[in-house]
Amino acid sequence: MKKTVRIGTRDSQLAVWQATLVQQELLKHGIEGELVYLKSDGDIDLITPLYEMGVQGVFTKTLDAALLNNRIDIAVHSMKDVPTQLAQGLQQVAVLPRASFKDILVYRGDELALFEELGFVNGEWAMSSNSKFKIQNSKFIIATSSVRRRAQWLNRYPHHTLDNLRGNVNTRMRKLDESEWNGAIFAGAGLERIGLRPKNSIDLDWMLPAPSQGAITIVCRDGDNIAAEACDLLNDTSTATCTKIEKDFMRVLMGGCATPVSALAIQKEQNIHFRGNILSLDGKEKVEVEYTVPELQSNNLGNTAAQELLAKGGDKIIAAIRNV
């Protein structure tokens, strides 16, 4: 066993929290870890919307290069940031137990007025058709840099305005506080992990998450058996199975930051329940699929679901997005 495992991480508060968790979990098995801090292109450019940056892995490629150059032994990522195809020479060696997969809305202003606007009554979400009826003349502004969140929000609230919001979670929370926006959308797990989720927030139970949202993954070089064996001790089989299905679904659809693809697989007893969708960029068109299959028959579920979605009209949505 190596004396110390060099753990690569972005230097944002959330990324460091995730890498520190891996460091602590390895130490429980008697394996020392040292954090190595790196800054990605996605952390440097905080202006350009993610879907306009024209590259998959904008938050991961710097760590990939450090791995391939033997500057670090493992890299820790939010799994939703990892491209469906890893860089040549790298392998996924562990997926940690998943936290919340939900998106949340952090809001400002009059809570009662906002809840009425959104159709959120007594802690329950109204049907989207009812919400759409109420907001024909809405002046609400919601912020997000995610094309997936943007499309799902506009599908439900077509008369709202969506504004761009970039930066790490701390920066985005500060920008929201300083803005005139009515709210901004975040991944619940990110804020909860570092203790930043405010009271003025609600779960967007109707919004389907990004594939593998809420999961943390560890990557190392191909052939580094020592690092792979160490990290395998941290692998959560159920989370790894579900996130693989979601990533397979995304891979078939060629999804990335510029494509509004959502997917969620949940293991319930001996079954896997899967939901997936794709939307047009303006949220006006949506194609959905849903499956429940025995876990032992779920190995190809992501591919199967994606092929059905394409046959139901998802192919036309993808073609239109590529022509934009």
Mean pLDDT per block of 10 residues along the chain (324 residues) reads 85 95 97 91 43 52 94 96 92 98 96 94 82 69 96 96 92 95 97 96 98 98 96 98 98 80 96 98 98 97 98 96 86
Q: How many CA atoms lie within 13 A of 111 on its CB side?
A: 8
> Full-prediction pTM beyond 0.75?
yes
Look at the block and give the residue holding tokens 């929201």: 176
C-alpha–C-alpha distance, residues 175 and 143, integer Å: 10
Task: Give the number of other Cβ atoms within 10 Å of residue 297's Cβ.
Answer: 10
Would you call 64 a catalytic residue per the annotation? Answer: no
**CA-CA distance, 260 to 210, in Å (whole number)?**
9
State the Cα–Cα distance between residues 252 and 188, nearest whole angstrom: 27
Specify whether the CB–CB gap between 50 and 257 falls below 8 A: yes
Q: What pLDDT was estimated at residue 166?
A: 84
pLDDT at 229: 96
Q: DSSP letter for 273, please.
A: E
Which residue among 43, 81, 103, 224 is the active-site one?
81
What is the set of domains in the chain, with CATH numbers? 4-96+214-235 (3.40.190.10), 103-203 (3.40.190), 252-322 (3.30.160.40)
Of 258, 237, 255, nearest to 246 by C-alpha is 255
